[in-house]
Structure 1
Amino acid sequence: METTKGETRRGKDETKDEALPDFSGLPREIITDVFLRLPAKSVGRFRCVSKPYCSMLSDPGFAKRHLALALKKDSGCQKLVVPSRNLHSVDLDSIGDGCEGTMVLSGVKDHPKDGLESVSVDWVEMIGSSNGLVCVYSQKGSSNGFVCVYSPKGGAFLHNPTTGESKRIPESMLDIVHACRHFGFGFDTLTEDYKVLKFVASDEGYRSVDVYSLKTDSWKRISGLPYKRLGCNPGVHFNGAINWVVKLHKGHNPKRVVVAAFDLKTEKFRDIPCPDEVEDCKYLKAATLKGRLCLVYDSFDKHDDIWVMNEYGLESSWTKIRLSMSYRSMTPLWSAKNSEEVLLQLDGKFVLYNFECKTCRNLEFSNVTFRKMFVASTYEESLISPNSYGNA
């Protein structure tokens, strides 16, 4: 059958869209393998080359393979993310150069596209990060750092700072969220699902927790918890669980201060006793230090020590480490490769502390205004999308 010129031109264009651009006749498998080895940021730029490239490089399966390879080879780009009225990120490799004195950092401004750029928010807070996704919430209205009331314009988000994609998390079973820092965020390797936890406060303490699943885009409630009090910080994702320091109601455990570890696979809590020496401390939080769970103070009094658990879950493996400096509130954030230097968020500032030499140097931001109480975090650049993950 004879075709018109318009039909011929349209057929050629469709063929061009379906095929990847020719790189010296390389097969598609080799082209894909090359992209799998590129940094996530670079791969993101190639999405703009053509529709076939955008389709291939946006595929959830490709994103998972890209992340797995980067984690296996430890070749990904790690970044520090600091919340203020927006998110500010800094390449962590740029601060571990061993120079002396104060280093001035310039953070790159970033924010979730789904909602935060179109409304005026009072502040952005970090909940946590996993596989390149950061979980944040925006505050509207008055807040003293401990209580947050969500407005229709505020809310919680899953956000990929590398790709700019975001997903607003639906409200949980309570419209008013008390003790908003009692959140946690992590990745369930069994079901390959991202989960957000939120403790529910009541007159009896914290007897329930709401669990959000990205795959189902819904919340469910787990009740019957024995917890009386929690600290004022999000849970830390470590060893397949989200960990908080909590105080138990009387009669549940001879040691009333424990690490409450929520197993993301079984969705059950396990209580890990804290050292006897911290039983009377009201302000303590869980963190991680060089691949180990640790306990650090978060109080008005000054301390010069931290506790490290050398074998996760084993009470007898708690070890005290004495520091050469005092602090009121401190969180280990990142460890430099092949170095004893650790990035610490210390009393509202950032320092690089050397555990071998017991020396430290200050880090300052040139373009970020911090609030008095904030939670920083780190993330690995990835192509994981919060919008398509459940359908992968």
Structure 2
Amino acid sequence: MMETAKGARRTDEYVEEEESRGDAPPEFPFLPPEMIREVLLRLPEKSIGRFRCVSKLFRSLSSDPAFAKAHLDLSLRNDAFPSGRRRLIVSYRHNLYTVDFDSVVDACDGIRDLGAVEILQSPVKSNVVSSCYREGYWVGVVGSCNGLVCTTNVAGDVFLFNLTTGESKRIPGVLDLLNLGTERVRNCGFGFGFHAITDDYKLVALVMGDVLNASVYSLKTDSWKRVGDSRYEYDDDDTNYDGVLVNGAIHWVARHRENGRRVVVAFDLTTEQFKDMAFPDEADECPHRVRGFQLHKLNGRLCMVYNCFEKHGDFWVMNEYGVASSWARVRISVSYSSMKPLCSVRNEEETLMELNGQLVLYNFRNDVSTSLVLKDAELRCVMAADTYIESLISPNQYGMA
């Protein structure tokens, strides 16, 4: 016992001596760094973040961009994303909130309150001058890929934000895209996606003016490239300016300049070229004076909903990508003026969606909807919502590995 106590005192004295010299104590001498790395790769992101405070070795290993990629690849390959790693991001005016996906799963069992946490250090919010904090001021969510969320605000800023690590990056040169000389500029829409072949995150900007100009930003090179295409013009009725990523391409609704025909425009992230996709045959039957369409994603498939001031009870889903005849009309029992499918729950038995400014669980089999409440958020409606997964991908170090 005396030897043990004496040994413990000697160990404490050794640690204190090492720390006083600025050196770290021995790092698990019986485990080589390679083995520690393999252990860390199999831990949740938040646990790894906490362990970075344990030792210099842990911090060095887990802060490596190659480690972040390997951690994400391993999780995706093993399909190891339990509900705790998937989260919602919700915007209301100038506030952003995150929602634990476990709350959504609980809602399937009748618990309708979702726990929401406000993101106090949002770069989109902090980068706007105080004069922008007025009625109608908003922040938006363009989309998310592999833990990086692309966000915008009314000041024209675009950020890539990792909500798990708190890192953010302001995309440079966005406002320069609007400097098109004498060309009349109406608006700018974005699309965000990951290109697996080049292992790069890309932001596509469509500048709607006299012609539709496109530019692509690469996170790897931190630069823009102009890939203009004047075959299309944006339809002012289709006010969903941000595109949706499906099957390696980003999609918008536009019209051909020659004949005014409405089409789905797909921008292929591999070829960086536009291609036309057929519109649903019956989609133009809306009798309302102001009518438009928005594109979303439902269980991995391209989906089109109405965007007008009137109520609708149907939408379209492209069951086989790129096949015009596979567009299928889906009718629901709830009328909507705005709708965005977010994700499926419990093996696609129910779908979480934004419906008329509220979060709703919809069961397509039973045609039953359940309204959900963000109990910890002071908001009257949902301005925008999206899902994201937790990861360690850094928007500031990507491409350095």
- TM bin, normalised by shorter chain, reads 0.7 to 0.9
Aligned length: 363
- Write out aligned runs for 1:63-212 (5 A): 63-76=68-81, 77-84=85-92, 85-97=94-106, 99=108, 103-110=112-119, 116-117=125-126, 120=130, 122=133, 123-140=138-155, 150=156, 155-172=157-174, 173-175=176-178, 182-202=189-209, 204=210, 206-212=211-217
Compute the RMSD of aligned alpha carbons: 2.6
Matching of residue 59 in structure 1 with residue 64 in structure 2: yes
Distance 1:372 1:269 in 2: 35
Q: TM-score, normalised by structure 2?
A: 0.83
The verdict on how the C-alpha distance between 1:95 and 1:56 changes in structure 2, with shifts beyond 3 A counting, is same
Q: Alignment partner of 1:301: what SS?
A: coil
Verify: 1:331 aligned to 2:340, yes or no. yes
1:241 to 237, 240, 249: 249
Contact 1:102 1:364 in 2 (8 A): no
Q: What TM-score do the two structures reach when normalised by structure 1?
A: 0.85
Q: Does 1:257 align with 2:262?
A: yes
Correspondence 1:216 to 2:216: no
For 1:391 and 1:35, the matched residues in 2 are separated by: 21
Match of 2:5 in 1: none
Distance 2:296 2:317 in 1: 9
The 1:113–1:333 alpha-carbon spacing in structure 2 relative to 1, beyond 3 Å, is: closer
SS of residue matched to 2:365: coil
SS across alignment from 1:97: helix
User: Which of 213, 225, 228 is matched with 2:230 structurally?
Assistant: 225
Change (3 A) 1:97 1:51: same
Say which is worse superposed, 112-121 or 258-267, in terms of deviation: 112-121
Matched, 1:390 2:395: no
C-alpha distance in 1 between matches for 2:364 and 2:117: 29
Q: Distance between the aligned counterparts of 2:272 and 2:258, measured in 1? A: 24
Match of 1:274 in 2: 279
Residue 390 (structure 1) shift? 2.5
| Aligned residue in 1 for 2:13 | none
Q: Distance in 2 between matches of 1:237 and 1:208?
A: 19
Q: Deviations over 1:54-91 (max 9, x none)?
A: 11101111101111121222222111101232321111
2:228 partner SS: strand
Equivalent residue for 1:146? none
Contact 1:179 1:232 in 2 (8 A): no
Q: Deviation at 1:332?
A: 0.2
Contact 1:125-1:375 at 8 Å conserved across structures: yes
Partner of 1:22: 28
* Aligned-partner SS, 2:314: strand
Q: Distance in 2 between matches of 1:276 and 1:364?
A: 37
Structure 2 CA distance for aligned equivalents of residues 280 and 343 of structure 1? 27
Cα pair distance change 1:11/1:288, threshold 3 Å: closer
Q: Could you report, residue by residue, the CA deviation over 1:232-291 in whole angstroms, capped at 9, with x for unpaired residues?
A: 221111111111122222348xxx222111111111111101112113553111111112
Specify whether residues 113 and 358 from structure 1 end up closer, same or farther in structure 2 by C-alpha distance, changes over 3 A only. closer
- Partner of residue 342, structure 1: 351
Once the two structures are TM-superposed, the CA of residue 113 in structure 1 deviates from its matched residue by 5.9
Shift of 1:112: 5.3
Worse-superposed segment, 345-354 or 187-196: 187-196
- SS of equivalent residue, structure 2 residue 163: coil
Deviation at 1:186, TM superposition (A): 0.6
The farther-off stretch of 91-100 and 68-77 is 91-100
3-state DSSP of counterpart to 2:328: strand
Worse overlay, 379-388 or 227-236 = 227-236
* Aligned 8 A contact 1:245 1:284 in 2: yes
Question: Kindly, what percent of the aligned residue pairs are identical?
Answer: 47
CA separation of 1:369/1:260 partners in 2, compared to 1, >3 Å: closer, same or farther? farther
Distance change >3 Å, CA 113–CA 89, structure 1 → 2? closer
Task: Name the larger-Rg structure.
Answer: 2
Query: Aligned partners of 2:99 and 2:34: how far apart in 1?
Result: 34
CA contact (8 A) 2:86 2:387 kept: yes
Q: Secondary structure at the match of 2:35?
A: helix
Q: Which has the higher strand share?
A: 1
Name the CA shift for 1:114/1:288 in 2 (closer, same or farther; >3 Å): closer
**Aligned partners of 2:165, 2:384: CA distance in 1, in Å?**
22
Q: Report how far residue 339 of structure 1 moved.
A: 4.1
Looking at structure 1, the residues matched to 170 and 120 of structure 2 have their Cα atoms a distance apart, in angstroms, of: 13
User: Partner amino acid for 1:134?
Assistant: V
Aligned to 1:3: none
Can you list the C-alpha shifts for 1:30-67, whole angstroms capped at 9, x where unaligned?
A: 32222111111111111121222111101111101111
For the 8 Å contact 2:24–2:56, the answer to whether it is kept is no
Q: Which runs of 5+ in 2 are unaligned?
A: 1-16
Specify the code of the residue in structure 2 equivalent to 1:212.
Answer: Y
Unaligned runs of 5+ in 1: 1-8, 141-149
The residue identity in structure 2 corresponding to 1:165 is: E
